Amino acid sequence: MQDKTFLRVEGLTKNFGGVAAIVRVSFSLQEGELLGVIGPNGSGKTTLVNLLTGFVRPDSGKVIYRGRDITGKMPYKIAELGIARTFQMVKPFYQLSAFKNLIIPLYSSRVKKLRGGKYGDRDDVAIDLLEDVGFERDSFVPYKVASSLPHGYLKRLELARCMALRPDLLILDELFSGMSMSEVASTLPIIEKLNAEGLTIIMVEHRLKELFRIAHRVIALNFGAKIADGPPREMMESEAVKAAYLGSEEEE
Amino acid sequence: MKFRKERLDRGIKARCEDIFAVSSYKEISYLLFPRALPVVLLLILPLMKGVIGLYWEKVLMITCIIALLALSWDLMASVGLISLGQALFFGAGAYITGFLNYTFKLPPILTIPLGTLGGALFSTLLLLPVLRLRGVYFAIVTLTMPLLLSRFIETTKILGGTEGMSALSPLPNIWVELYVPVLALLICLFGFRRLINEDYGLVLQGIRDNDRAVMSGAINIYWFKAQAVFIAGVAGAFAGAFMTHYYRFVGMPAFAMDYSILPLTAAVLGGVGTFAGPTIGAFILMPLSESLRAVGTLRVVFYSAILIICVVGLPEGIFHYLRRKYHQFERMVDIG
Amino acid sequence: MMGCPFYPGSRKPRPLAVDEFAGSWSGCRPAWAFVRCHGLCLWGSTKKKMLPSVIIYGLVNSVNLALIALGFSLTFGISGVANFAYGGFYILSGFLVWMLLNYLKFPFILAIVVTIGVVGLLGFAAYWIILLRVRGIPLSEVIATFALGVGILESFRWLGFVTYEFTLPYFKKGMVMIAGVPVDYQRLFMIGIGLALVLFLYFFTHYTRIGLAFRGIAQNERTAISLGIKSDWTAALSLALGSAMSSVAAIVILPLGIISINTGYEVLLVAVAVGIVGGLESVPGILVASLILGYAQIITGTYFKPEWMMVVYLAAIVLVLAIKPSGLFGKFKELEERV
């Protein structure tokens, strides 16, 4: 019987020097799910994302995406298979204008294949993508140099960069960090819409309120290990999660 | 009365960054002039043999060769690869061309293209493993490769060993000698500039600035780096291939350090990443170096000094300065 | 008439007695110097008798390579600065000792100490004056140190330091027989200094504050800075240390031959080759790579043709790049360190 799980992670482990960053983490993901990943700082969330997307090679464990073993493959190969990710520390191409930042992922062979071998005009596609993530279309904002854009716009540029790839799995690493309330409020529906249209999403987040509103399921990490896995309501009531964030009573 | 210097963009420049909206012949000529000038100059100079003298015509040719190497260097620098050994490409192209001519007696019209492609291929394959490593490794390996290869040839005595291969076929006539490098230079100059401004070039620059982001955009950065090295290698190997038939000789001096230091100095002096800069740098450096022939090795000290000064004090290079002067005008404003 | 304008003069064959053995000028100076200075003809004796001398001179050569490579590798490992001026400092040290001895008539010990100090200081100054301004821009860093090295070397060439009178004295003349093989004191001294240096480095980096700071920066610069270790000072000191080590190496090795400007380029070549093979940031890697390359060279020279000793470097580099590009002990941190 064929494995229909969209993404399956088994026993992922990674040590950096003496520090255990990820300890035997396993979970699975169905197509179309929106999975949240939460945990206090240093719990290994970004490392997990790096392991999934090939930027870090695991010491042991497997990552199986749509039946293919992608453990330890090069990041560009993984991106080509349809997994796109944002970076927590946003680093656009500072000297280029916003829409030119998108030209590069649009140049990839994946996009070439998906569009049936024809490019169309990359500049136009880029402007469309920017509009989809909330850049005002008829303004000069898409043409501004990336270094002059405020942080919220840069975060949305990250999102647009991912969408340029037409991914099947989108991994957002703390997309909302550094965004103002209004920016979050305007970006959240975009993510919801993408998920409603069938895009599988993994969201690493600190802003639990927003995350719990849209996530189907949430896993929690602490010190590199998975401590909880379930729907948001369960998370809010879980003792383990509370202890991880707030500390347990014995410690006082 | 206090004055302040103010810099304003000229009208046409102020309208848009890289898309010019032209509305008159005057504006078109404003844009065309800096591009047309070098083309016209380079095409005319060889014709002025009688006026300038044969010696300086030869200098022109050498300048074009070094400019080609400088362009080749600049292309690799645009993708983030710093080469301390352009002589590798030069020597590879030179030796393959010489070998084909010496052993198989193929004419220059065949050996030069074959040498160019072969030299580029050889150098790219040699540098392939280093592309996955940190940037400095590339500098290190390119530094050592010409030295090691020339030592290899010396000890194994292949390809002529220390004596090299001589009495190779000459180039047909003086016009070929002068116009082929000039045309090659113009093709590479405008070709590379076009390349870097296309989307392909954007990817290359992206790899230089932030390869992590490029990789997550599903682009195999190593393949693109290899392509850049190959294209740069074509320019460099052509320089070597051509010179082999000009000197009618190829030997260990083909890997000489001068072929690495001069393009590097020209590029840094002129402005890294601009392609026009290295060309200008070469045209300043080579005639200067010829006039300083008498001083001998002090020239190299001089180049080193220029390199350090430029790198520390004028990192943008001459071209940016010239361009700014052209696109902006300055005036003193009275601020009372 | 122009001729070839790019013959830099650095490839002129050297008219030494060495050529009679080698047939060509080779870069492995100490081994050649040994052949020349003692007139021994290894290739004449039977292969069985050669084994002890191969073992001993292999060790000598390895220590030689290690002495040269350690300075460069240390600077790179600690601060990430590839000091391409390394060869320049090496030769500069040699000439400085020579000038102190011959022009100022300093006693030997004083000349050595002063030179090591001065060159170390110059390394520090090089960082502070030049590199500091271009730190973080890989292009400029590489070019700056490279230009500095070339500038130093070619300045000496222009000033005329190219004749055969430029030699450094031995520490102690004479030789001793070990297992039937003559070994001169200078080489034993070299082995001793090499071992002492490695021990010193070990204690320095594990037990002194500065040394521990070095290791901290090498492992994780950001954390180290946040702990109060000043990155620029450490980098400058690492350059000083590397340059001082090049001095030590020069003082011990140069007496075996003459101070030749081209050796400056070769020293850089050796340091880089050993570094590539062993892994540029790893001291154990350098030591192991020195042993491998040192013995490979001597074995090649003894049992095959002497000219091929230099080719060993090329073969080793190509091999390492093809199989494990980051070197034997190198950490393949290429991607990981970026996230």
Q: Provide residues of A within 8 Å CB-CB of chain B.
A: 53, 55, 74-77, 79-80, 84-85, 87, 91-97, 100, 103-111, 122, 161, 164-165
The pLDDT assigned to B278 comes to: 93
DSSP track, chain A = -----SEEEEEEEEEETTEEEEEEEEEEE-TT-EEEEE--TTSSHHHHHHHHHTSS--SEEEEEETTEE-TT--HHHHHHTTEEE--SS----TTSBHHHHTHHHHTSHHHHHHTTT----HHHHHHHHHHHTT--TTSSGGGSBGGGS-HHHHHHHHHHHHHTT--SEEEEESTTTT--HHHHHHHHHHHHHHHHTT-EEEEE-S-HHHHHHH-SEEEEEETTEEEEEE-HHHHHH-HHHHHHHH--GGG-
Residue B236 included in any domain: yes
Please give, rounded to a whole number of angstroms, the shortest distance from the CA of B16 to a CA of chain A: 11
C334 contacts on A by Cβ (under 8 Å): none
Residues of chain B found within 8 Å of residue A75, distances taken between Cβ atoms:
212, 215-216
Tell me what the pLDDT averaged over chain C comes to: 75
Question: Minimal Cα distance from B134: which residue of C?
Answer: C334
Q: What is the pLDDT of residue B204?
A: 93
| Mean pLDDT, rounded, for C115-130 | 89
**Residues of chain B numbered 56-115 and touching chain C (CB < 8 Å):** 58-59, 62, 77, 82, 84
Residues of chain C contacting residue B55, judged by C-beta atoms under 8 Å apart: 2
Give the range with max mean pLDDT: A120-134, B236-250, C123-137, C258-272.
Answer: B236-250
List the subunits that have 3+ CB pairs under 8 angstroms with C: A, B
Place of tokens 């490839």: C11
Q: Which residue is listed with tokens 């022009």?
A: C103
Neighbours of chain B (3+ CB pairs under 8 A): A, C
Question: Does residue C2 register a pLDDT over 50?
Answer: no
What is the end-to-end Cα distance of chain B in Å, rounded?
A: 5
What gap in Å lies between CA C275 and CA A244, rounded to an integer? 46
In-domain check, residue B192: yes
How many angstroms away from the CA of B191 is the closest CA of chain A? 20
Does residue B114 carry a pLDDT above 80?
yes
Report the pLDDT value the prediction gives residue A250, as an integer from 0 to 100.
54
Do residues C141 and C135 lie in contact, with contact meaning Cβ atoms separated by under 8 Å? yes
Domains of chain C: 61-331 (1.10.3470)
In a domain, B227, yes or no: yes
Check A75 against C336: CB less than 8 A apart. Answer: no
- How do residues C304-331 score in pLDDT, each as one tens digit? 877 777 778 888 888 888 787 777 777 6
Supply the pLDDT for residue C30: 44
Evaluate if residue A37 carries a pLDDT over 80. yes
**Which among B136, B154, B304 is the nearest to C82, CB-wise?**
B136
**What pLDDT score does C47 carry?**
52
Chain A residue with the nearest C-alpha to that of B223:
A76
Q: pLDDT band at B137, cuts 50/70/90?
A: confident
Q: Are A46 and A246 in contact (CB under 8 A)?
A: no
pLDDT at C35 over 80: no
Q: Which residues of A touch C (CB under 8 A)?
A: 17, 46, 50, 55-57, 75
C274, C313, C321, C323: best mutation site toward chain B, by most B Cβ within 10 Å? C321
Q: What does the alpha-carbon distance between residue B65 and residue B307 come to, in Å, rounded to a whole number?
A: 20
Q: Is residue B55 part of a domain?
A: no
Domain that holds residue B82: 3-14+67-334
How many domains does chain A contain in total?
Answer: 1
What pLDDT, in 10s, does the model give residues C156-199? 888 877 776 777 777 777 777 777 777 788 788 888 888 888 88
In the predicted model, is pLDDT for residue C42 greater than 60?
Answer: no
Q: Which stretch of B330-334, C2-6, C93-97 has the lowest confidence by average pLDDT?
A: C2-6
Query: Does any domain span residue B58?
Result: no
Are residues C154 and B304, on separate chains, in Cβ contact within 8 Å? yes
Q: Is the pLDDT of residue B221 over 80?
A: yes
Task: Read off the pLDDT band of A120 (50, 70, 90).
Answer: low
Mention every residue, 6+ apart, whose C-beta is less than 8 A from residue B164.
B98, B249, B250, B251, B252, B253
- Prediction pTM value: 0.84
Top pLDDT among C5 and C114 is at: C114
Q: Which of residues 281-310 of B touch C (CB under 8 A)?
A: 289-290, 293, 295-298, 300-301, 303-305, 307-308
Residues 169-228 (B) with a CB less than 8 A from some CB of A: 199-200, 202-203, 205-206, 209-210, 212-221
Residue B210 has pLDDT above 90, yes or no: no
Lowest mean pLDDT segment, chosen from B81-85, C64-68, C186-190, C287-291:
C186-190
Output B123-129 pairs: Cβ under 8 A, ≥24 positions apart.
B123/B88, B123/B89, B123/B92, B123/B229, B123/B233, B123/B236, B123/B237, B124/B226, B124/B229, B124/B230, B124/B233, B126/B88, B126/C318, B127/B229, B128/B226, B129/C321, B129/C322, B129/C325
Whether C333 shows a pLDDT value over 80: the answer reads no
Mutate to test the interface with B, among A55, A81, A83, A93 (most CBs of B within 10 A): A93
Residue A4 confidence (pLDDT): 66
Q: Is C146's CB within 8 Å of B307's CB?
A: yes
The stretch A187-210 carries a mean pLDDT of 90
Mean pLDDT of B71-83: 93
**What pLDDT score was predicted for residue C43?**
41
Residues 6+ apart with CB under 8 A from A162: A84, A85, A86, A105, A170
C181 against A184, higher pLDDT: A184
Interface of B with C in 179-218 (CB under 8 A): 212
Assigned token pair, A166: 């037409």
3-state DSSP: chain B helix, strand, coil percent, rounded to 5? 75, 5, 20
Rounded Cα distance between C131 and C145, Å, is: 8
Q: Does C336 touch chain A (CB under 8 A)?
A: yes
Nearest chain C residue (CA) to A75: C335
Q: What is the pLDDT of residue C331?
A: 64
Q: What is the mean pLDDT of residues C108-127?
A: 89
Chain B residues lying within 8 Å of C275, measured CB to CB: 140
Given a cut of 60, is residue A140 above it in pLDDT? yes
Which residues in chain A are contacts of B212 at CB distance < 8 A? 55, 75, 87, 91
Q: What is the pLDDT of residue B118?
A: 95
- Which CATH number do you get for residue B280? 1.10.3470
Q: Are strands A19-29 and A200-204 parallel, antiparallel or unpaired?
A: unpaired
- Does B5 reach chain A within 8 Å, measured CB to CB? no
- Cβ B213–A75 below 8 Å, yes or no? no
Q: pLDDT value at position A129? A: 85
> Any idea what DSSP says for residue B18?
S
* pLDDT surpasses 60 at A225: yes
Q: Does B21 reside within a domain? A: no
CATH number at residue A13: 3.40.50.300
Cβ-defined contact of A107 to B209 (cutoff 8 Å):
no
Which is higher by pLDDT, B97 or C18? B97
Cβ–Cβ < 8 Å for C112, C224: no
Distance from CA of C149 to the nearest CA of A (A): 33
Domain contains A232: yes
CA distance linking residue A219 with residue C210, whole number of Å: 44
Domain membership of residue B224 (yes or no) is yes
pLDDT at B239: 95
The pLDDT of residue B95 is 93
Residues in chain C within 8 Å Cβ distance of B156: 307-308, 311
Domain membership of residue B49 (yes or no) is no
Q: What's the number of domains chain B is made of?
A: 1
Q: pLDDT: is C2 or C102 the higher one?
A: C102
Contacts of C279 (CB under 8 A, 6+ apart): C285, C286, C289, C326, C327, C328, C329, C330, C331
Domain that holds residue A29: 7-251
What pLDDT is recorded for position C192?
A: 85
Given a cut of 50, whether residue C4 has pLDDT beyond it is no
CA-nearest of B35, B16, B12 to B329 is B12
Mean pLDDT of C244-265: 85
Q: What is the pLDDT of residue B287?
A: 87
3-state secondary structure of C135: coil
Mean pLDDT for chain A overall? 85
The answer to whether residue B316 neighbours chain C at the CB level (below 8 Å) is: no
Whether A108 and B210 lie within 8 Å, measured CB to CB: no
Residue B330, exposed/middle/buried by CB under 10 A (0-12, 13-18, 19+)? exposed
Which of B199, B205, B216 is the closest to A75 by Cβ? B216
Interface contact flag, A91 B202, Cβ < 8 Å: no
Residue A1 maps to a domain: no
Residues of chain C found within 8 Å of residue B58, distances taken between Cβ atoms: 2
Interface contact B133-C26, CB threshold 8 A? no
E strand or H helix that includes residue B8: strand B3-9
Angle at A78 between CA A74 and CA A83, to 5 degrees: 145
Return mean pLDDT, chain B: 86
Highest mean pLDDT among A99-103, B81-85, B163-167: B81-85
* Beta partners for residue A225, in sequence order: A222
- The C residues from 158 to 197 touching B (CB cutoff 8 Å) are 158
pLDDT digits (tens, 9 = 90+) for B9-50: 776 665 555 555 667 777 777 777 878 888 888 888 777 766
Please give the pLDDT value at position B115.
Answer: 93
